[in-house]
Chains A and B, each alone.
Chain A
Amino acid sequence: MAVGVVWRQWAWPAGMLRGGRALWALRGPGAGVGPRGRGGAAPGRSLRVAAPRSSDVFRELGPALSRLGQTLREQLPGPGGWDPQWSPQSCPPPEQADVVVVGGGVVGWAVAYWLKALENQQHGMRVLVVERDPTYSRASTVLSVGGIRQQFSLPENIRLSLFSAAFLRNINDYLWVPNEPPVDLQFQPSGYLFLASQRGAATLEAGVKLQRQEGAKVALLSPSQLKAKFPWINTEDVAVASYGLENEGWFDPWSLLNAFRRKAMSLGVLSCVGEAKSFITPTEDEMQLMARDRVKYVNVRLPDSPEQQPIACAIVVVAAGAWSGELLATATASLPGGSLAPLPIQPRKRYVYMWHCPDGPGLECPFLIDTSGAYFRREGIAGNFLGGMSPPEGDEPDTGDLEVDHDFFQEQVWPRLAHRVPPFQTLKVRSSWAGYYDYNTFDQNGVLGRHPQLQNVFVVGGFSGHGLQQAPAAGRAAAELLLHGRCSTMDVGRLAPGRLLHGEPLREAAIV
């Protein structure tokens, strides 16, 4: 066997054919190895005219091993590339998980990542992310315009955005995975420019004062200063403008989502494809041991099948974005004790248009939000711009599909933008798409905390258009709440869902 061992180590490092190789080596290096392995006939054996009566192990070993080799070659990668039959998409969900995160958007994966990053013991908890659409065709994350700003009127929003900006700046400290290329978000630090007319000037100035107190770098500009900085703006009926100088801009949402997902999976987060359909609370006889308002199982319907898999869990995090309200309503509909108060998070459709204007603003173009609510930003350096507008209250488009209303641009958005930026009078629309805001109809601010009526359900959502930029911070706050019981990095206690039931709205003035 010594010869075989030496042969093995020199020619082929240990492989699954270790045994076979050794035996072939014994017969000598000249033995036929390859697709037509003819290890059976040793040289010098006489011809037989009749079939052998007894089976000879060594004679049959050769063909058996070559058949084995053939089977392996078919299974394992050939020149075409790796094509596993068992992709994560077809994995059935596990039967038990400590934390089930419903929703695989940027918020869901951020919560999963932070849960793993902050846990005390490596692999201390099993976190599962359930996403119903792995192509993300309707997810708000990837259809987002991708801006980040600190110009809010609520201190909690400013804090969340500041934390997220610091996170994005040092993203490779957090989300870099060894052996993988570094994360590149394509961040454009061009800042947001809010214009205010006489009516909104006081609100804007109060907002800027608050933002500066929280540590954001925002400048107030008079119309003449505005004109000097951005000569292409028509400053008619602009009373004051606020311009974010640092930590504001836009980036690529796909890169952030993939970075979170890649790092979370490298830390051991499991993921499966499926739709969470209902929650199951303990039955009557279990209720002596467990409180009635705890969720014991999450029923996940597998893709393309009516089969439902119950997943036993300790904590459920609802990060389903625009469908959080609907999910909680259907999931808790069949609970004993009547249905719960609905969560006021609904999808609202918003359109984004991309156009080309060769004479438009140059490299200095910020993310501009007009007094009328219309907004646009530069996209790339070739004279393309992205923009849109939130429709007025009461005129909301139907959320059934993601079809784009081009008349909305022609009649509402374009006139307002052309009035503000005269070069936009000649432009050519290149493309457009629609996406959903996870709109909090109560007060248009994020909801972050324990569900008021279910003990182990956490809700993270309802950000109404600024979810992507606050996702890293919201994920961290949710993870700290879950692991430590309180959020120590930033004070966002007021965003708990309790306020939705007890009726104290926290209004945000700067919703775009």
Chain B
Amino acid sequence: MRVRGRGQVAHAQCAGAPAADKMAALRAVLGGRGGGQVPVPPPSSLCRGASAWGALQSLGQWCWGGEVAAAWAQRLRRLRLRRKNEYYGLTRERYGDNLAAAAFTLSCGGGVRFKDRDLWVRGRWRPELLQLRDVPVVAVDLSGSQLTYDGLDNLVQLRELQHLDLSGCPHVDDWVLGRLHVFQGSLLELAVARCPRVTERGLATLHHLQNLRRLDVSGVAVPSPGLVRILLEEMLPRCQVLGMEMDGGPPPERGEPPLSAWTPPPVTLGALGGIKSTAGAAPAEGLGFVPWAALLLSLQVGLGVN
């Protein structure tokens, strides 16, 4: 018997499913997910009606088929991301590392700058770029792109990269930063501002980049920005660290990523009752003091009507 989410099972109960299915569903709810989890109607996820992901999530809470649809949507998203970050192996073989990196960057919507040239190359691939086959790429601007760990395969061959801008990339995480050590000989400027998945653990791997002169970490969510800035400055003595102010205000808001593969809406069914939580999880807000409301809300978790 398939173990369904709490919401879906409760809805199956409500929808007049046959008795055997109801009992199996009840067993699945109690036996499958572990006790101590409060079935809570998700207050805010339905309000995000604008985003397609939010609608799919709420569909998943209506009926168990939605969960399958959510999983398929996730798979499609991953496929698309993988295709965007494909390895430009053929280009690299035929035209060299620099042009392969340039082609990849342009396909991601970014820009490249070649050595001894001031202009940034952006937009579509142009045949004139083939003349720059032997000119090293010195700057890559991939801000806001869908770059992932695998997409970096196209860039790690650049031996004279001096400027790398990865600001606002939703899929750049600590693993990606751990790969940047290959640029230790040449990189002078690095920007990872507003990347939602970068944490102080990834920033700790930047100690390889001893030639770095400017590091932009504004908008990176860390537990104590002042302390992390001091540690970064100790780790990279010749580098100027931008962002992460010393006055120790509240940590900056994590940048809101665009529709990305695994960022769920802020409050989900699971968010309040993960496996780690104890049996006496916080009582659900929104369940009024009227016992009837509590009774029926618990039965109709899937409905999501607040």
Contacts and interface: CB of A to CB of B under 8 A. Distances in A.
A78 interface: yes
Contact of B5 (A16, A179, A381): A179
Given A82-B36, A181-B268, A15 B14 contact: yes
Q: Is the interface of B mostly helix, strand, loop or mixed?
A: helix
Interface in A450-501: none
A291 interface: no
Contacts of B38: 77, 81-82
A276 to B, nearest CB: 20
Nearest to A272: B31
B256 interface: no
Given A13-B303, A258-B276, A73 B33 contact: no
B71 A189 contact: no
Contacts of A179: 5, 7, 57, 60-61, 67, 70, 264, 268-270
Given A189-B202, A265-B32, A178 B71 contact: yes
Interface stretch (B94-102, B121-129, B213-221, B286-294): B286-294
B2 A123 contact: yes
Nearest to A258: B275
Interface in A164-217: 169, 172-173, 176-182, 186-190
A88 B299 contact: no
* Range class of the A interface residue count: 35 or more
Given A88-B31, A189-B201, A83 B299 contact: no
A61 interface: no
A182 B262 contact: yes
B205 A190 contact: yes
B76 interface: no
B235 A364 contact: yes
Nearest to B82: A173
A381 B200 contact: yes
B299 A15 contact: yes
A72 interface: yes
Contact of B296 (A15, A176, A266): A15
B74 A364 contact: no
A190 B38 CA distance: 38
Contact of B283 (A16, A72, A79, A169): A79
B275 A261 contact: yes
B134 interface: no
Given A178-B60, A180-B268, A189-B174, A363 B207 contact: yes
B30 interface: yes
B136 interface: no
Contacts of A177: 270
A429 B57 CA distance: 47
Which applies to chain A's interface (DSSP): helix, strand, loop or mixed? loop
B235 A363 contact: yes
Given A179-B61, A187-B175, A13 B300 contact: yes
Interface in B164-207: 174-175, 177-179, 181, 200-205, 207
Contacts of B5: 178-179
Contacts of B300: 13, 15
A76 interface: yes
A12 interface: yes
A362 interface: yes
Given A76-B298, A179-B268, A381-B231, A190 B204 contact: yes
A416 interface: no
B75 to A, nearest CB: 9
B232 interface: yes
A13 B296 CA distance: 9
B158 interface: no
Contacts of B30: 84, 86-88
Given A172-B261, A179-B57, A81 B35 contact: no
Interface string B254-289: 000000011110001111001110011111100101
B15 A72 contact: no
B34 interface: yes
Contacts of A44: none
Contacts of A18: 16
A89 to B, nearest CB: 8
B115 to A, nearest CB: 26
Contacts of A246: 178-179, 181
Contact of A83 (B1, B175, B204, B279): B279
A182 B263 contact: yes
A7 interface: no
B207 A180 contact: no
B80 interface: no
A268 interface: yes
Given A73-B291, A181-B270, A265 B204 contact: no
Contact of A76 (B275, B282, B295): B295
B232 A363 contact: yes
A268 B204 contact: no
A182 B257 CA distance: 15
B31 A189 contact: no
B196 to A, nearest CB: 12
5 contacts: A79-B287, A79-B289, A246-B181, A265-B34, A362-B234
Given A15-B14, A189-B177, 19 more contacts: A69-B292, A73-B294, A77-B38, A77-B294, A78-B291, A79-B287, A83-B36, A83-B280, A84-B35, A86-B31, A122-B2, A179-B57, A179-B269, A182-B262, A188-B201, A268-B1, A268-B3, A363-B204, A363-B234
Closest 5 CB pairs of A and B: A189-B178, A180-B270, A364-B207, A87-B35, A363-B204
